[in-house]
A and B are shown apart, each in its own frame.
Chain A
Amino acid sequence: MTDKPRSGGCPFHPGTGPVAGRRGLMLGLAGGGALLLPAQAKAQPAPAPLMQSPPGRDAGAAGTALPFYGPHQPGILNPPPAAGLVAAFDVLATTPEELQRLFRLLTGRIAFLMAGGTPPAADPRFPPNDSGILGPVILPDGLTVTLSVGASIFDERFGLQALRPRQLVAMPRFPNDAPDRDWMHGDLLLQICANTPAATLHALRDIIKHMPSLLRLRWKLEGFLPAGLGDASAETPRNLLGFKDGTANLDPADATLMDALVWAGPAQGEPAWAQGGSYQVVRIIRNFVERWDRTPLREQERIFGRRREDGAPLGRSAEHEAFDYADDPDGQRIALDAHIRLANPRTAESANSRILRRPFNYSRGITRAGQLDMGLLFICFQADLRAGFVAVQERLNGEPLEEYIKPTGGGYFFVLPGAAGPDAYLGQGLFPA
């Protein structure tokens, strides 16, 4: 008996057909992708906050195609848009040649999807070339697809053992974690961000459709950020505990800082091929929101070290006020175990543990106990995993916030260096020329 969607409908056949679809891809690459709406400049007005509320949907935003080619992959430095998902895959390829083919195919699809355009028409007696969920013209909608690899890709299957980034391992369990094996690790991870959830799901379905014999989905989590009011870019988005999240982040416009703290390479002792990549940490962190909503505001604020209303550090007047803890050694203003103080003590010694965060909120049904299953899809990037995420997490271990959160999944991944141009592909450095 067929599974639920019964009438001849095929749950595994969302759309695009390989024949003309692939041809379309080639044309798309060659022609640069035909777009109805002009790509918009992504530069922000100068005094913008480091992390911004995503804009609402308008024609300009929908037509925005972000650049794909370059030394680094997209989806790391640009402000996170309203929708972001991560999908982890097991690779079904069994030989280095097949893996290489997978990376080439993925690169081609990502380039096509990020540019947008009109998928070629197909004979209607065949499955259509595109799922159609974005309509006849694929507007890129600020789409970024970021490809990273897990430690398992460097096992004996593909002979890549010697090329493993030196700190890339399967994410270990931290003291407050309740790891769920079904929601962890993976050979590959795709981070897909766009202005709308439809655009992220369209990209995911397109990729799954085009790589049937090479990838198997392992787990997937969709996240979102609340849209700001009015001039959205003036606001820091809030997480599901009601606090602004992203106030103190690395400034992605500071190229020197990015080179020092985000981009990995031989300078950090990584293999040469890894130049321009980055360690990516994904943590699925459930928030006990019912309990949080029953917690006094003052305690909530003490736990984070910031005011809920406007995000200002406790005892200070404005969200973005520069400060450190030199004048507060005993935690009079901001408790010694407050989240922001442990996460970043703001001392000279802790400066190299700063990380670039790109979190989304998630909500996915309820627990057996009838509580909401929602929380933070925590994502961060760093040049050095140990000096970055691990050091921060070790300082956070045992923090008062742990009463209200439970990390249950995710993994460590390494973002591949960018594809330099249309002749290059993601992961190229892993294979002999």
Chain B
Amino acid sequence: MRRRFLLHAVLVAPLLPAARPAFAAAVSPLELAGPIAQYKLYVLDEARQLVERTERFTTAVKAGELARAQALYAATREPYERIEPLAELFSDLDGAIDSRADDHAKAEQDPDFTGFHRIEYGLFHEKSTDGLAPFADKLLADVRELHTRLQDLTTPPDKVVGGAAALIEEVAATKISGEENRYSGTDLSDFQANIDGSKKIVDVLRPLLQRADAALLAQVDGNFGRVNAILARYRTADGFQNYEKLSAADRNGLQAPITALAEDLSRLRGTLGLD
């Protein structure tokens, strides 16, 4: 029966058993140091971009430039969505920067509801910049604080390696349903950023993965490619179309590689011998 499974295997499928030993040869911890350092540079670069973009964005918000602020919203978030595995380690900041109305007892009216989605609510739901200035100031202060803390962070290897899967879980749990950026409909932009952030982790680990489990790596690459090809159809000159434009067929088309990626990437830590 297994032979037949193999014959009919297609690329989106998670890896079949014959391709890998059940107990993977561990990669030595020393070998992870290089990739982790490389990733840290990426994260710091993204964090710097986050600060710069947030400066432009919050300036527009405070100047009452509604259309400009709306246009900048999605791109401002992107660096944050790419580096979430590390950014999320500071849960106080994560809550202040990226919580959703549902996370708060009084939803949109809750005084603790701050950050991107609070401003998104003003810009896209209320269609006004009125009263957003304090939220803009706080967001900018929070992302600057995040940048500082990331510089001081000793990067935990398991969080980095596990982050590739964590980003995909994020997509599977909220981005694929379009519920995170519910006022602006900009979820495809977050979606792409999560994918890029996950792929970056795979890329820095690539030489090690190639050695430890080349078949797993090929499979993962194939599914990243599949997701990117579908997302590319929704690109516009300066970002992505509204989530509502995503066709049912493409939504299903994304679901298959995303779920397969979630399964495959959940094996990354073990594959590299991390506990």
Contacts and interface: CB of A to CB of B under 8 A. Distances in A.
Contacts of A6: 91
B1 interface: yes
Residue among A8, A13, A98 with most chain B CB within 10 A: A8
Interface stretch (A16-24, A51-59, A229-237, A278-286): A16-24
Contact of B256 (A12, A127, A213): A213
B274 A20 contact: no
A29 B267 CA distance: 25
B100 A212 contact: no
A123 B165 contact: no
Interface of B is mostly: helix
Interface string A1-41: 11100101011110001111011001001000000000000
B159 to A, nearest CB: 8
Interface in A189-218: 209, 212-214, 216
A216 B12 contact: no
A212 B270 CA distance: 19
A21 to B, nearest CB: 8
Given A100-B8, A212-B262, A18 B256 contact: no
Contact of B17 (A23, A94, A123, A127): A23
Interface in B10-36: 10, 12-17, 20, 22-24
A8 B269 CA distance: 13
A12 B5 contact: no
A92 B23 CA distance: 31
Interface in A100-129: 100-101, 104-105, 108, 120, 122-127
A26 B269 CA distance: 26
Interface in B165-217: 165-166, 169-170, 172-174
Contacts of B23: 123
B13 A1 contact: no
B174 A10 contact: no
B259 A123 contact: no
B102 to A, nearest CB: 9
Nearest to A101: B8
Residue among A1, A29, A422 with most chain B CB within 10 A: A1
B9 interface: yes
Residue among A3, A22, A122 with most chain B CB within 10 A: A3
Interface in B73-119: 84, 88, 91, 94-95, 98-100, 103
A126 B17 CA distance: 14
A18 B88 CA distance: 29
Given A18-B14, A23-B22, A126 B252 contact: no
Interface of A is mostly: loop
Nearest to B12: A213
A22 B6 CA distance: 12
A1 B94 contact: yes
A212 B223 CA distance: 12
B2 A26 contact: yes
B173 A11 contact: yes
Contacts of B269: 125-126
Contacts of B88: 1-2
A23 B16 CA distance: 9
Given A105-B5, A126-B267, A1 B17 contact: no
B162 A20 contact: no
A16 to B, nearest CB: 10
A399 interface: no
Interface residues of B, number: 51
A19 B20 contact: yes
Nearest to A23: B17
B64 interface: no
B122 interface: no
Nearest to B81: A1
A132 to B, nearest CB: 15
A90 interface: yes
Interface in A326-375: none
A322 B84 CA distance: 69
Given A1-B99, A1-B100, A213-B259, A19 B22 contact: yes
Contact of A216 (B15, B252, B267): B252
Contacts of A299: none
Contact of A104 (B5, B16, B252): B5
B160 interface: no
A12 B8 contact: no
B241 interface: no
A251 interface: no
User: Ordered nearest first, which 9 A-B pairs have the shortest CB separation?
Assistant: A126-B270, A125-B270, A212-B259, A213-B260, A1-B98, A92-B256, A213-B12, A213-B256, A3-B173
Given A10-B166, A11-B169, A123-B23, 18 more contacts: A1-B84, A3-B174, A17-B267, A26-B2, A92-B252, A92-B253, A95-B10, A104-B1, A104-B4, A104-B5, A123-B24, A127-B266, A127-B267, A212-B262, A213-B259, A216-B252, A216-B255, A216-B259
5 contacts: A19-B22, A22-B17, A95-B10, A101-B8, A213-B14
